[in-house]
């Protein structure tokens, strides 16, 4: 969220919202729950939820998977932050995932999960998510719920309008929030913003078989701030729509200086056109250093590659790729209706929600119904592209998603509610309070060509009095509403991991059909895999000691290790020999600097240990795996060098 202070009539509303932040007691929540709410969220023991919800963990840097309607937390998928629970980012196999051109960065701020699409529908293959702070895009394989790839994004700062999938996952698109000087380590005065700072939209090509990402090209766009985006679909296939703020091009005190103009912009990007230019060789290679980290399922380990250049197209030279549409008051969300015709632009401080028509937009472009230019980009006349405005929607519209019956749902940050309106008439039909200060919302399949509907989930910024207090740091939370009827009904509040900026949800079977249940030991190509106990060994090479170890219910082999010297670097490579797909083993040793291991069946994981003193050090399995789990243990002896 961007802070919200403006010199407008909305000051009062802002004051109300600020009150919620500064501790004035909010009106006691009168929660209206329909009588059968409990039944609607009750998933009986042994039964499965209907929907998966993938929510960003915000400043936890991770993704959390929940079951809906129960709200049960199923898994935290480590992405940008180290996770000692399973050694992510600590083990020799996973450390490389967190390499960047700034070094090893074991944290980020994750905002927007995006499910991969086929023909505009969630296909359950991958989930993409952005790292905001040190610009990165991660790809999680939904067959394994593992982060398989992290790609750094050059020429970017605050990787916020990101990531968005095109209709067939042709591209994952990452837009920068901050405009920055282009190039590696470019040192210019901040006051030269207007001349030297540009925005960059990265079009990341996704290999349809393996999912591997590569930056196909970057589009250099005017130096303003970019907020959020959506891919076109159906009639608007081949286009993307971004919200932009700070068209004042301020570089200081944005809360005042970036709110001078009455209108900022929605930027329409014709990426098919950009693709053509790339094919015609109009792109320019520019130096750009960025890391590309991949986890290989075969070796169960990650490698980093350093990329050195990026292909760029510049909108200052190629004038028919992007167009601006004026949009009132710091637009935040830009969302596209299921048929691709309506582009909903929510301005945080606007009193209406403008809905643009893709048809009118392209007609206006064809007829050049422009209102001048902004940094060489044609500005389409507001009225020429406008389908109409949602009147009196509420205060602080942010984000919109769609259901299967022709309705849109917009989150209202300031008035803390969800507003339901009819897409074709733009008439408000229902509103329901959220507790409190909703940011994004998520309808099941809400950005698909054919949304699934049924539930909307509110992702709230403040929980206040909704949960037992836990010191000043209260839990973050989400709320589940039934939208199957005319009226929205609150069913459930549930706490979340970190700030749940955004979430995407899809029917469980879409994910379950792709789940991979067998990790074959025979296919394990890890260089230190011991595939049976005969292959276990301890090998010294100078000061380095490698232990080829196996784990199976209920022993570790070898379990007595002697001959380690003080000052050695010991690597325990533990292979899990289990045949059952869901029996992990753990491994920890007394005094281990970093973490433990959690090894899935068929997999090898490595922990590095540098004993600081002589002695005998117990090690054991950390994951209760059988009645004899407590017997799964051993000793390592360290002698004087
Ligand atoms: S942002 Cu937080 S409410 Cu990062 Cu998607 Cu809109
Ligand atoms: Cu293996 Cu506990």
Residue 33 carries which DSSP code?
B
Given its phi and psi angles, is residue 401 left (phi above 0), alpha (psi -120 to 50 degrees) or beta?
A: beta
Amino acid 611: pLDDT:
95
pLDDT band, residue 564 (cuts 50/70/90)? very high
- Asked if 553 and 584 touch (Cβ cutoff 8 Å), the reply is no
Q: Is 461 in the pocket of ligand 1 (CB under 6 A)?
A: no
pLDDT tops 70 at residue 309:
yes
Whether pLDDT at 14 is above 50: no
The counts of H helices and E strands in the chain are 8, 45
Give the pTM: 0.94
Q: In this structure, what token pair is assigned to residue 464? A: 């206040």
Alpha carbon of 160 to ligand 1 centroid (Å): 8
Among 223-232, 253-262, 412-421, the range scoring the smallest mean pLDDT is 253-262
- Quote the pLDDT of residue 7: 37
Please report the pLDDT score of residue 32 as a whole number.
63
530 within ligand 2 shell (Cβ under 6 A): no
Q: Does the structure show a pLDDT above 50 at 377? A: yes
Residue nearest to atom 1 of ligand 2 (CA): 585
pLDDT in tens, 403-462: 999 999 999 999 999 999 999 999 999 999 999 999 999 999 999 999 999 999 999 999
Q: Whose CA is nearest to atom 1 of ligand 1?
A: 1
411 CA closest ligand 1 atom index: 3
* pLDDT above 60 (res 18): no
State how far the Cα of 247 lies from the Cα of 249, in Å rounded to an integer. 5
Does residue 26 carry a pLDDT above 70?
A: no
Is the backbone peptide bond immediately before 573 cis, with ω within 30 degrees of 0? Answer: no
Q: pLDDT (tens digit, 9 = 90+) per residue, 484-524?
A: 999 999 999 999 999 999 999 999 999 999 988 777 899 99
Residue 278 has pLDDT above 90, yes or no: yes
What's the rounded Cα separation, in Å, for the pair 84 and 133? 22
d(CA 214, CA 102): 20
502 lines ligand 1 (CB under 6 A): yes
Instruction: Quote the pLDDT of residue 516.
Output: 81
As given in the structure block, the two tokens for residue 222 are 């005017």
Interior angle at CA 306, CA 301 and CA 311, nearest 5: 130
Rg (CA), the chain: 26
Instruction: Please indicate whether residue 585, judged by its CB atom, sits closer than 6 Å to ligand 1.
Output: no
Q: Which atom of ligand 2 is nearest to the CA of 626?
A: 2
Question: What value does the mean pLDDT take over residues 296-314?
Answer: 96
**Residue 227 alpha carbon to ligand 1 centre in Å:** 8
Residue 517, pLDDT score: 78
The answer, yes or no, to whether residue 289 has pLDDT greater than 60, is yes
Of the listed ligands, the closest to the CA of 584 is: 2
What are the tens digits of pLDDT across the range 51-90? 999 999 999 999 999 999 999 999 999 999 999 999 999 9
Does 629 contact ligand 2 (Cβ within 6 A)? Answer: yes
The percentage of the chain sitting over the pLDDT mark of 90, rounded to a whole number, equals: 89
Which atom of ligand 2 has the smallest separation from the CA of 554?
A: 1
Residue 583 alpha carbon, nearest atom of ligand 2? 1
> Quick one: which atom of ligand 2 is closest to the CA of 624?
2
CA 438 / ligand 1 centre spacing (Å)? 10
Using the atom order of ligand 2, give the atom closest to the CA of residue 551: 1
Give pLDDT, residue 29: 53
* 293 Cα: distance to centroid of ligand 1 (angstroms): 26
Q: Tell me, what's the pLDDT at 13?
A: 42
pLDDT digits (tens, 9 = 90+) for 570-624: 999 999 999 999 999 999 999 988 899 999 999 999 999 999 999 999 999 999 9
The ligand 1 atom at the shortest distance from the C-alpha of residue 1 is 2
CA of 125 to the centre of ligand 2 (A): 31
Instruction: Give Cα separations from 138 to 131, 159, 296, 440 (angstroms).
Output: 8, 12, 14, 20
Residues 571 and 605: their CA atoms lie apart, in Å, by 10
Report the length, in residues, of the chain: 641
Backbone angles phi, psi at 491, to 5 degrees: -110, -40
Average pLDDT of the chain is 93
Q: Distance (Å, rounded) from C-alpha 453 to C-alpha 507?
A: 10
How many other β-carbons are positioned within 10 Å of the β-carbon of residue 250? 17
| pLDDT exceeds 50 at position 22 | no
What pLDDT digit, counting tens, does each position of 470-486 carry? 999 999 999 999 999 99
pLDDT for the residue 140: 98
Using 50, 70 and 90 to split pLDDT, how confident is the model at 381?
Answer: very high
Query: How many Å lie between the centroid of ligand 2 and the Cα of residue 531?
Result: 18
Per-residue pLDDT for 21 more than 80? Answer: no
Low-confidence winner among 117-121, 137-141, 353-357, 579-583 (lowest mean pLDDT): 579-583
Q: Is 230 in the pocket of ligand 1 (CB under 6 A)?
A: no
The domains located in the chain, with CATH, are: 48-177+188-512 (2.130.10.10), 523-639 (2.60.40.420)
- Which ligand places an atom closest to the C-alpha of 332? 1
- Counting from 1 in the atom list of ligand 1, the atom nearest the Cα of 160 is 4
Whole-number Å distance, alpha carbon 332 to ligand 1 midpoint, is 8
228 CB within 6 A, ligand 1: yes
Give the model confidence (pLDDT) of 207-221 as tens digits: 999 999 999 999 999
Q: What share of the chain is helix, strand, coil (3-state, %, to 5)?
A: 10, 45, 45
ipTM: 0.94
Residue 326: name the closest of 382, 372, 367, 272 by CA.
382
Is the Cβ atom of 348 under 6 angstroms away from ligand 1?
no
Best mutation site among 135, 439, 441 for ligand 1 pocket (most ligand atoms within 8 Å of CB)? 439
- pLDDT exceeding 70 applies to what percent of the chain? 95
Q: Judge whether 210 and 183 are in contact, CB under 8 Å.
A: no
The pLDDT of residue 4: 38
Asked whether 557 lines ligand 2 (CB < 6 A), one says no
**Extended strands (E) in 32-135:** 51-56, 63-68, 72-77, 99-100, 103-104, 114-118, 121-131
Please tell me if the CB atom of residue 261 comes closer than 6 angstroms to any atom of ligand 2: no
């Amino acid at each position: 969220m961007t802070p919200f202070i403006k010199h407008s009539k909305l000051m009062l509303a802002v004051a109300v919202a600020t009150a919620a932040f500064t501790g004035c007691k909010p009106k006691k929540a009168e929660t209206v729950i329909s009588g059968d709410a409990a039944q609607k969220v009750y998933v009986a023991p042994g039964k499965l939820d209907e929907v998966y919800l993938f929510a960003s963990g915000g400043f936890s840097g991770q993704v959390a998977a929940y079951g809906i309607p129960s709200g049960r937390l199923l898994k935290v998928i480590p992405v940008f932050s180290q996770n000692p629970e399973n050694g992510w980012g600590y083990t020799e196999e996973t450390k490389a995932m967190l390499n960047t051109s700034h070094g090893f960065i074991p944290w980020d701020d994750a905002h927007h999960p995006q499910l991969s699409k086929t023909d505009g529908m969630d296909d359950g293959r991958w989930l993409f998510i952005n790292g905001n702070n040190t610009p990165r895009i991660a790809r999680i394989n939904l067959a394994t719920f593992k982060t398989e790839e992290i790609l750094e994004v050059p020429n970017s700062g605050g990787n916020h309008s990101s990531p968005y999938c095109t209709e067939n996952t042709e591209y994952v698109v990452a837009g920068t929030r901050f405009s920055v000087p282009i190039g590696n380590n470019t040192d210019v005065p901040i006051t030269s913003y207007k001349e030297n700072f540009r925005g960059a939209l990265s079009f990341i090509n996704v290999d349809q078989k393996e999912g591997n990402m590569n930056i196909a090209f970057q589009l250099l766009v005017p130096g303003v701030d970019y907020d959020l985006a959506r891919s076109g679909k159906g009639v608007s296939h081949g286009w993307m729509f971004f919200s932009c703020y700070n068209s004042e091009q301020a570089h200081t005190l944005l809360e005042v200086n970036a709110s001078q103009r009455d209108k900022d912009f929605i930027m329409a990007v014709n990426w098919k056109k950009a693709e053509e230019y790339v094919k015609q060789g109009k792109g320019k290679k520019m130096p750009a250093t960025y890391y590309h980290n991949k986890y290989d399922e075969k070796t169960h380990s990650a490698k980093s590659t350093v990329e050195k250049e990026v292909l760029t197209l510049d909108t200052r030279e190629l004038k028919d790729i992007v167009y601006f549409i004026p949009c009132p008051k710091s637009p935040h969300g830009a969302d596209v209706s299921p048929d691709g015709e309506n582009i909903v632009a929510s301005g945080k401080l606007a009193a209406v929600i403008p809905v643009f028509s893709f048809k009118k937009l392209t007609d206006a472009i064809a007829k050049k119904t422009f209102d001048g230019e902004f940094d060489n980009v044609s500005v389409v006349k507001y009225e020429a592209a406008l389908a109409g405005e949602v009147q009196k929607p509420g205060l602080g519209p942010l984000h919109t998603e769609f259901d299967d019956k022709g309705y849109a749902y917009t989150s209202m940050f300031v008035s803390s509610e969800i507003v339901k309106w009819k897409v074709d008439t733009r008439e408000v039909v229902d509103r329901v309070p959220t507790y409190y200060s909703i940011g994004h919302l998520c309808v099941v399949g809400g950005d698909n060509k054919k949304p699934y509907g049924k539930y909307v989930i509110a992702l709230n910024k403040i929980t206040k009095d909704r949960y037992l207090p836990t010191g000043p740091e209260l839990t973050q939370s989400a709320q589940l509403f039934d939208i199957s009827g005319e009226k929205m009904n609150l069913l459930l509040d549930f706490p979340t991991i970190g700030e749940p900026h955004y979430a995407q949800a899809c029917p469980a079977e879409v994910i379950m059909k792709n789940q991979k249940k067998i990790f074959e030991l025979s296919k394990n190509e890890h260089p230190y895999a011991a595939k049976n106990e005969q292959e276990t060994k301890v090998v010294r090479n100078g000061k380095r000691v490698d232990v080829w170890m196996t784990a199976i219910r209920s022993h570790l082999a070898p379990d007595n290790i002697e001959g380690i010297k003080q000052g050695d670097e010991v690597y325990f490579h533990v292979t899990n020999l289990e045949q059952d797909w869901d029996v992990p083993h753990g491994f920890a040793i007394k005094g281990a600097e970093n973490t433990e291991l959690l090894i899935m069946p068929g997999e090898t994981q490595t922990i590095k240990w540098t004993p600081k003193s002589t002695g005998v050090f117990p090690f054991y399995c950390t994951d209760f795996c059988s009645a004899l789990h407590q017997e799964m243990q051993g000793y390592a002896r360290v002698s004087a060098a």
